């Protein structure tokens, strides 16, 4: 029962050591090939987005293949050829709201054993009064020896410890063992093989979900200072302080794209938030579509009567128009300024702006850099700005930069059924400010490389962490001045610690890993450098990048600036891989023209960081000229196929490319690709392959690599390359059939005389968008596009890029040109119909 496709994972262990909130996690998986031939073994784990991978290795029959962490560009250049073929892309991918998936596969011979070991580290954050460690559990098969072991050591002492799993049944509940006393805590989960089954004789595993450990520590004083080997960490989390009144302005996007479920979930969340607003708080709502509307002219106090009136207003919120983001946010800042200048709000209070948007600014000032500059100048560090991006249509980089420049943060709200709970959950995090203008001051002549030490707000249930390095590595004493503004008066005191006191607390050495405070300092410094880098420009950004890169390489962290090169044995078609740190941000536009789907043509416009798309509606059997270059002699044509039958719901025949022909007349070469086979014609010679092959062929200026059942990569002289993606559907599907997509790499290597439906765009195109207005679909606005000196009506939409994810694709926003690309393409689309593939 423990063998799946010939592979038995006989051991999987997740070992976590937490010392002073810093978690060092090691996942070890051991597998054996029980089959009679070589097999692929997959190591597939998910880890928190907040973590940095620090080490990975594979050991096959006693030989270890380590992961090597390098500067990103150096790693990419080393494996440039493999990356261009898509072979190494994405060992790490964003896999959920809180996780990233790390996947490595390796082919091993019959009877061979392989051990995978992955190490990652993170600083546990305190929220709602507890530290939380999240472990994704998904072995995908029964594992003879499965174990999670978490050991916690906290010098302050542990007050509570809990562990739970989303997959835990009543039978598994008793298998979770947890104990804690004084400074030590321990959690273990070790289900036997039979306890992992979904039913008595089932081979499926019930272990599929989230395993979460939460704990908190004793706080006899607001601070805990720890000094080890020339580094210190300072934890600050005062308790029993009176809550500060807050002044909160909700700035809500009500443009047409928010219609339907999005605006309904927003109303639902705001109604819940109104239930939690305290009577000492002041608040208001600002709505922005094409115009800006306010509920009240000024901030008002949260009396029961005002809250009732606010609920009626929230229930009436509806969508209209475009996205005047600039007008909405500036109205909110002006309102807070007026409230403070007119003394409408308490002097001792926390002022917060929460903005929610699902799109990009397109009314009023729409240049995001200009908006950032105006907002920063208007806020002047007085208020905290939190930006919530609803869905994937937002310019997340812009929202994040603007929030970070104004002492806040950005958060993506995922467009799922629980979006209202996500909105409410974020508000809960910032709903209870206890202090403003917190400063932790350390002797300048004693400390170097200090992490962030001033904070606009301290929220109940959270924790401020500062770390630094002593100038004198042997220093063992530190005094800190703490300052902050509370609800009734100022907070001001001095705290101190010496290394001897820390040493006494750390006598239980088995819980401590390496130089943990030094690594905690490096982690926190890196996290903050990368955050500062987001909003920085020019020389400042270069300096921050250099500093963050040095730390990443020194402490072996996989960050957005580094990559881990994973080498594998050279036999059995193994291919090396590169692991990168995914970042939350703007959609990456393709750098190449392509067609894929029904058949959708995508033309990138790099200078606009945008794309144009169009469709060709013709009958199955039609052959279209896609690329024709008389200088290099390269021609690409494609033949349309249709669904097996017309869709009864729409009576529309969907079409796709079912056959692609690529020829080079000077090399006398032709390549014919269908979803069934690949054929090379060289003069009178013919060579055939199927998509089950995994080969590289080189002959007479042609290089062809077939990646089994995924894609093929072709280069044919001149330097240009083509990637043809195979899309396979269920063979018994009543409607759809297999089809092909084509992507052109380094299209600039073709001559300026290149033409065709795609080829005419290879040497650049530009456009201007004017007069955005609602379209027939409220989520897809129409606009006037000026292109090739013509005015076209276009629609904002999405198409798929399937190069890195052939199954689901990546959404690419684009401006859709209607009527078979009329006005965009030269001539009319029927001009591109040819009689045959060649």
Contact 828, 822 (CB under 8 A): yes
In 219-370 the beta strands, taken as DSSP E runs, fall at: 223-228, 231-236, 246-253, 282-288, 292-294, 300-301, 350-357
Better-scored residue on pLDDT, 731 or 313? 313
Better-scored residue on pLDDT, 705 or 181? 181
Instruction: Name the nearest CA neighbour of 22 among 166, 184, 131.
Output: 131
**Spatial distance between the Cα atoms of 117 and 409, rounded to a whole number of angstroms:** 34
Better-scored residue on pLDDT, 697 or 718? 697
Average pLDDT on 551-559 reads 93
Average pLDDT on 564-574 reads 74
Over residues 634-656, the pLDDT tens digits come to 999 999 998 876 555 545 567 88
Over residues 453-491, the pLDDT tens digits come to 999 999 999 999 999 999 998 888 999 999 999 999 999
Q: How confident is the model at residue 53 (pLDDT cuts 50, 70, 90)?
A: very high
Contact 54, 581 (CB under 8 A): no
DSSP state of 308: H
**Spatial distance between the Cα atoms of 282 and 649, rounded to a whole number of angstroms:** 53
pLDDT above 90 covers what percent of the chain?
A: 57
Q: What's the chain's average pLDDT?
A: 87
Average pLDDT on 621-629 reads 95
**Spatial distance between the Cα atoms of 45 and 148, rounded to a whole number of angstroms:** 14
Q: How confident is the model at residue 756 (pLDDT cuts 50, 70, 90)?
A: very high
Checking DSSP bridges between strand 158-165 and strand 209-217, what pairing results, if any? antiparallel
Contact 720, 728 (CB under 8 A): no
Checking DSSP bridges between strand 126-127 and strand 130-137, what pairing results, if any? antiparallel
**Spatial distance between the Cα atoms of 623 and 503, rounded to a whole number of angstroms:** 78
**Spatial distance between the Cα atoms of 759 and 189, rounded to a whole number of angstroms:** 59
* pLDDT for the residue numbered 88: 41
Q: Which of 91-105, 168-182, 506-520 has the lowest mean pLDDT?
A: 506-520
Over residues 23-48, the pLDDT tens digits come to 999 999 999 999 888 888 888 889 99
- Locate 280 and state its tokens: 């000492």
Q: Is the pLDDT of residue 587 over 70?
A: no
Over residues 254-286, the pLDDT tens digits come to 987 788 888 999 999 999 999 999 999 999 999
**Most confident of the following: 492-506, 507-521, 615-629, 777-791:** 615-629
* pLDDT for the residue numbered 830: 94
Q: Is the pLDDT of residue 511 over 60?
A: no
* pLDDT for the residue numbered 86: 39
* pLDDT for the residue numbered 731: 76
Q: Is the pLDDT of residue 110 over 50?
A: yes
* pLDDT for the residue numbered 21: 95
Contact 480, 494 (CB under 8 A): yes
**Spatial distance between the Cα atoms of 362 and 773, rounded to a whole number of angstroms:** 10
Over residues 57-93, the pLDDT tens digits come to 999 999 998 988 989 877 766 655 444 443 443 467 6
Average pLDDT on 493-516 reads 71
Neighbouring residues of 306: CB distance < 8 A, sequence distance ≥ 6: 300
pLDDT above 70 covers what percent of the chain?
A: 90
**Spatial distance between the Cα atoms of 168 and 833, rounded to a whole number of angstroms:** 60
Average pLDDT on 413-426 reads 88
Contact 596, 606 (CB under 8 A): no
Using CA of residue 293, residue 296, residue 301, residue 303, what is the dihedral sign?
negative
Instruction: Name the nearest CA neighbour of 766 among 588, 602, 611, 629.
Output: 611
Average pLDDT on 191-210 reads 88
Q: Crossing angle of helices 516-535/396-405, nearest 10°?
A: 110
CA–chain centroid gap for 113, Å, is 34
Q: How confident is the model at residue 588 (pLDDT cuts 50, 70, 90)?
A: very low
DSSP state of 21: T
* pLDDT for the residue numbered 72: 82
């Amino acid at each position: 029962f423990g063998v799946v496709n010939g592979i038995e994972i006989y051991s999987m262990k997740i070992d976590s050591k937490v010392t002073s909130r810093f978690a060092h996690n090691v996942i070890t998986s051991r597998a054996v090939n029980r089959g009679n031939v070589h097999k692929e073994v997959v190591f597939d784990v998910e880890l928190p987005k907040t973590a940095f991978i620090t080490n990975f290795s594979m050991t096959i029959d006693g030989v270890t293949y380590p992961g090597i962490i390098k500067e990103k560009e150096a790693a990419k250049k080393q494996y440039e050829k493999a990356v261009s073929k898509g072979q190494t892309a994405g060992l790490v991918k964003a896999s959920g709201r809180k996780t990233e998936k790390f996947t490595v596969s390796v082919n091993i011979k019959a009877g061979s054993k392989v051990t995978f070991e992955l190490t990652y580290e993170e600083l546990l954050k305190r929220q709602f009064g507890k530290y939380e460690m999240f472990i994704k559990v998904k072995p995908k098969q029964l594992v003879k020896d499965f174990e999670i072991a978490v050991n916690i050591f906290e010098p302050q002492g542990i007050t509570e410890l809990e562990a739970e799993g989303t997959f835990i049944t009543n039978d598994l509940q008793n298998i979770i063992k947890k104990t804690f006393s004084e400074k030590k805590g321990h959690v273990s989960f070790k289900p036997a093989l039979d306890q992992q089954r979904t039913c008595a004789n089932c081979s499926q595993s019930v272990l599929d979900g989230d395993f979460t450990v939460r704990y908190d520590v004793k706080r006899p004083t607001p601070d805990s200072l720890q000094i080890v080997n020339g580094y210190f960490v300072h934890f600050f989390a005062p308790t029993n302080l009176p809550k500060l009144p807050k002044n909160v302005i909700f700035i809500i996007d009500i443009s047409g794209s928010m219609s339907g479920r999005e605006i309904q979930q927003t109303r639902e969340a705001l109604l819940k938030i109104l239930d939690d607003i305290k009577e000492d708080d002041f608040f208001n709502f600002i709505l922005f579509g094409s115009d800006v509307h306010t509920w009240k002219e000024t901030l008002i106090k949260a009396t029961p009567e005002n809250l009732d009136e606010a609920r009626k207003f929230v229930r009436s919120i509806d969508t209209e128009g475009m996205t005047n983001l600039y007008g909405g946010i500036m109205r909110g800042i002006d309102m807070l300024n007026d409230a403070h200048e007119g003394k409408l709000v308490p002097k001792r209070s926390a002022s917060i702006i929460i903005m929610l948007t699902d799109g990009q600014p397109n009314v009023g000032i729409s240049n995001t850099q200009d908006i950032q500059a105006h907002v920063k100048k208007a806020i002047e560090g007085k208020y905290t700005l939190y930006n919530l991006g609803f869905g994937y249509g937002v310019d997340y980089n812009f929202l994040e930069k603007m929030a970070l420049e104004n002492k806040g943060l950005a958060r993506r709200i995922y467009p799922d059924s629980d979006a209202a709970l996500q909105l409410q959950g974020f508000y809960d995090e910032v709903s209870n400010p206890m202090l403003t203008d917190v400063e932790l001051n350390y002797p300048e002549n004693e400390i170097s490389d200090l992490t962030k030490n001033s904070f606009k707000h301290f929220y109940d249930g959270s924790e401020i962490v500062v770390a630094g390095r002593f100038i004198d590595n042997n220093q063992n004493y530190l005094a800190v001045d703490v300052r902050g503004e509370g609800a009734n008066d100022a907070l001001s005191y001095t705290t101190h610690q010496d290394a001897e006191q820390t040493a006494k607390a750390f006598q239980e050495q088995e819980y401590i890993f390496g130089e943990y405070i030094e690594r905690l300092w490096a982690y926190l410094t890196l996290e903050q450098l990368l955050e500062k880098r987001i909003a920085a420009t020019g020389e400042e950004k270069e300096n921050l990048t250099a500093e963050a890169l040095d730390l990443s390489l020194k402490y072996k962290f996989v960050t957005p600036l580094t990559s881990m090169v994973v080498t594998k044995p050279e036999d059995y078609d193994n291919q090396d891989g590169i692991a990168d740190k995914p970042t939350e941000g703007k959609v990456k536009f393709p750098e190449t023209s392509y067609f894929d789907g029904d058949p959708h043509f995508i033309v990138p416009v790099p200078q606009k960081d945008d794309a144009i798309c169009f469709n060709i509606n013709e009958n199955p059997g039609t052959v279209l000229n896609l690329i024709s270059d008389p200088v290099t002699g390269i021609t690409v044509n494609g033949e349309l196929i249709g669904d097996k039958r017309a869709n009864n719901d729409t009576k529309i025949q969907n079409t796709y490319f079912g056959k692609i022909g690529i020829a080079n007349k000077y090399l006398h070469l032709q390549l014919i690709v269908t979803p069934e086979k690949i054929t090379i014609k060289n003069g009178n010679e013919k060579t055939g392959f199927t998509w089950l092959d995994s080969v590289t062929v080189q002959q007479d200026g042609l290089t062809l690599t077939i990646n089994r059942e995924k894609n093929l990569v072709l280069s044919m002289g001149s330097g240009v390359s083509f990637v043809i993606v195979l899309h396979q559907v269920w063979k018994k599907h009543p409607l759809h059939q297999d089809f092909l997509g084509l992507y052109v790499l380094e299209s600039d290597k073709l001559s300026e005389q290149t033409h065709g439906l795609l080829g005419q765009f290879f040497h650049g195109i530009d456009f201007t968008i004017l007069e955005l207005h609602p379209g027939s679909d409220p989520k897809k606005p129409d606009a006037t596009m000026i292109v090739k000196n013509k005015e076209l009506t276009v629609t904002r939409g999405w198409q798929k890029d399937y190069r890195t994810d052939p199954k689901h694709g990546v959404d690419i926003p684009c401006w859709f040109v209607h009527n078979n690309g009329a006005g965009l393409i030269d001539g009319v689309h029927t001009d591109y119909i040819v009689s045959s593939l060649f």
